[in-house]
Structure 1
Amino acid sequence: MSEHRRKVGDRGQVTIPKELRDSRGIKGGDEVKFVEVNDEILIKPPTDDERLAEGYRKRAERSRRIAEEMDEASSEATDRLGEAPDRDD
């Protein structure tokens, strides 16, 4: 967990550190949520449909690449070692 300190301006404004904005995908003009939990205030980045869809697209692409790599590795193994023998269990 990283800790960043900022001063609150006269109008209650605080700048979210760039490192945190970048890591959470918060851009200028985005709306964030303030949530009070026990004695803490959490700042939550937006969760909109497009961001969720982008996350799912990235995950699907990663899964597709992994499946392709596994197919390639399996084909290479078959080429070098031949088919696996049938097992009589």
Structure 2
Amino acid sequence: MREHKRKVGERGQVTIPKELRDRQGIKGGDEIEFVETNDEIVIKPPTDKERLAEGYRERAERSQQLTEEMAPASSEATDRLGEAPSWSE
């Protein structure tokens, strides 16, 4: 982790170092988020909506794979143990 120091201008403006902007995918005009936690200020880059959507798609696909993988075990358990009891109040 490398430290980057910058001076705050008269109007409270700070330039984010190019190296960090490039690595985090921050471009001119992007909206960023400032989060204050205890005695720190964290700058969060914009959320890449497509990357976020891809993560959800991958998770859904993995969930489907697990369901398919567990189907034989679930069927075997039902054959041996019977249907799960219904819960009523």
Structure 1 residue identity aligned to 2:47: T
Q: Kindly report structure 1 stretches of 4+ aligned residues shifted beyond 6 Å.
A: none
Identity %: 77
Separation in structure 1 between the aligned mates of residue 36 and residue 50 of structure 2, nearest angstrom: 26
Is 1:36 aligned to 2:36, yes or no?
yes
The RMSD of aligned alpha carbons is 1.8
Flag structure 2 segments of 5+ consecutive residues without an equivalent: 59-89
Q: How far off is 1:51 after superposition?
A: 4.0
User: Is 1:25 equivalent to 2:25 in the alignment?
Assistant: yes
Q: Deviations over 1:38-82 (max 9, x none)?
A: 1000000011423424xx38xx7xxxxxxxxxxxxxxxxxxxxxx
Give the structure-2-normalised TM-score: 0.57
TM-score by length of 1: 0.57
1:5-84 matches, within 5 Å, as 5-53=5-53, 56=54
Give the total of aligned pairs: 56
AA aligned to 2:12 is: G
